Structure 1
Amino acid sequence: MTEHDYEPIPGLPGLLPKDERILWQGAPDWRVLARTAFHTRLVKGYFALLGAWALAAAIARGLHGLGDLSGVALTAMFGILAIGLLNLLAWGAAKTTLYTLTNRRIVLRIGVAFSKCINLPLSRVGTLGLATYADGSGDVPIALTGDRKLGYLALWPHARPWHVSTPQPMLRAVPDAAEVAALLGRTCLAANPHGQLVPPAPVAQAETGFTGAIAA
């Protein structure tokens, strides 16, 4: 049994008011989260380079060096350990995360060690973004209006990368990201009738750029 078993509604801090209803719920794909937030591919490449360097050094020492490949073995061991730990963290982050969209707000239930719910009223949504990966998963950053700011570290990894001074909450590594972004856009437009929908331009992957979806 976990603390989430005590939630009156999964992903929400309390019961919904009578005029509020859930439109969508989803969570990150932990494998995509591992690649994009915990950068497992980059870490694999780093340890592969270290291993190649250790092997080249052994070859340079000749037959005696080839007989002692402890450096290569240690590099491989630490690499496997690091990748395993990062994958475990990504799995834990995805397992404890639930994104919820209602007709009045977006709720992020996040946190592995300490769970918290972040309520984002639709009236505070300034712009939405969309960027996708080849498998259709992707990220949806949410720029907020108003003076109140959220802490980047409190949001991470559910925060748009590199936006530290003005943190943006982000629905990260969600499957069928384009459909999710479209639903968020329509819901935000219903709550902000003066906004506008901007068709997104294609981008290569989620960390190369974002396109505006809603302008309040």
Structure 2
Amino acid sequence: MPQEFRLSLDVIKFDEQGLVPAIIQDHLDGVVLMFAWMNRDSLQKTLETGRTWFYSRSRQELWPKGDTSGHVQWVQWLRYDCDHDALLIGVQQVGDIACHKGERSCFHLIDQPNAPAHLPPGDMVAQLYEVICQRRDQPQEGSYTSHLLAGGDNRILKKIGEETAEVIMACKDREPVAIAGECADLLYHTLVALAAQDVTWRAVLQELHRRRR
């Protein structure tokens, strides 16, 4: 559903061509989806309709994202930088595809070993979940994650129980470093359980977003 936004366009500093750069970001996991330009009219339409409108410098016209592909972007929040000359826009990306080449993001990783190259960089938890899924689909000898997954529910759930108890003990001892470490362990093992059950990390984020709203 379209959001309602209030912003005085006089706050934004458009350049000499009447444009302002806009970075489009997934509102759930922070993945940077694309970069585009906006002018005063396209920003106004974005605010009025709750979906992204951009300005094409080559065609010199406004264009609504997703009109042809169906991959509409519903705006969840807008921010401008400290100089008021750049925009950061969080969106709900319909179809999970933002790039005109049919990919989620227009940005790609460069020579990063052991990274899931088929996906754009997101937050650390999302990246960790993707690595766990890789170990699930392509088990590696010597991998603790592959070992856990091979053990099935009993092994995975037993570890979640153990890590939960360790979080409790760390909190009772009021040890900040230990609490952070034990919570990291618990989160990791929870992600393994999610992957084993074919439940995505994104589904968890969507549920948290639903509850917040």
> TM-score, length-normalised on structure 1?
0.23
State the structure with bigger RCO (CA 8 A, min sep 6), 1 or 2.
1
